[in-house]
Amino acid sequence: MSFLNKLKALGQQAGKEAQDTWSRYQSGPFADATMAACALIAAADGQIDPQERSRTAQFITSSEKLRSFNVADLRAKYERYCDALSRDRDFGKIEAMQAVSKLRDKEDEARAVLSLALVIANADGHFDPSEQAAARDIAAALHLSPAEFGL
């Protein structure tokens, strides 16, 4: 199995294991951290491609895994973080990482944030090195081991 196939399989496995977990976390900080993480991965290559942004937003609103959330609220949060990253990459990244790091002391929620971000990152079947690096940064902000998530 190639490295990318292995990584994709790990992302899918994490998604299956975390699906039940996500429905337990309905808090604002969890939703903010999750959507911030997704925006950080979308912006990993230095820009947010409009098609990727649109596909991710559609995934957020149509995913069975996210049905327990107010998906309109999730999409609005995702768009807000994407806009911040597009306006000013450095300040947008600081804002998004602050939202992510608020869950660093809540291990279960932190794992769920990273798992969901990986599922969304893998939704298009392409998880490039810059996205992997962003995921490792998110793991570090959450005080999680990147290796545990195949990163």
Domain housing 84: 3-149
- Tell which wins on pLDDT, 145 or 72: 145
The mean pLDDT of 118-122, rounded to a whole number, is: 78
Q: pLDDT at residue 17 above 60?
A: no
Which of the residue ranges 15-19, 43-47, 55-59, 91-95 would you say has the lowest mean pLDDT? 15-19
Give, as one character, the DSSP assignment of residue 23: T
Distance, in Å, from the CA atom of 16 to the CA atom of 31, rounded to the nearest integer, reads 19
Whether this prediction's pTM lies above 0.85 is answered by no
Distance, in Å, from the CA atom of 34 to the CA atom of 115, rounded to the nearest integer, reads 9
Q: Which of 3, 1, 15, 39 is nearest to 122 (CA)?
A: 15
How confident is residue 18, by pLDDT bands cut at 50, 70 and 90?
A: very low
Q: Give me the number of domains the chain comprises.
A: 1
The mean pLDDT of 32-46, rounded to a whole number, is: 88
Q: Which of 50, 20, 28 is nearest to 116 (CA)?
A: 20
CA torsion sign for 62, 95, 122, 141 is negative
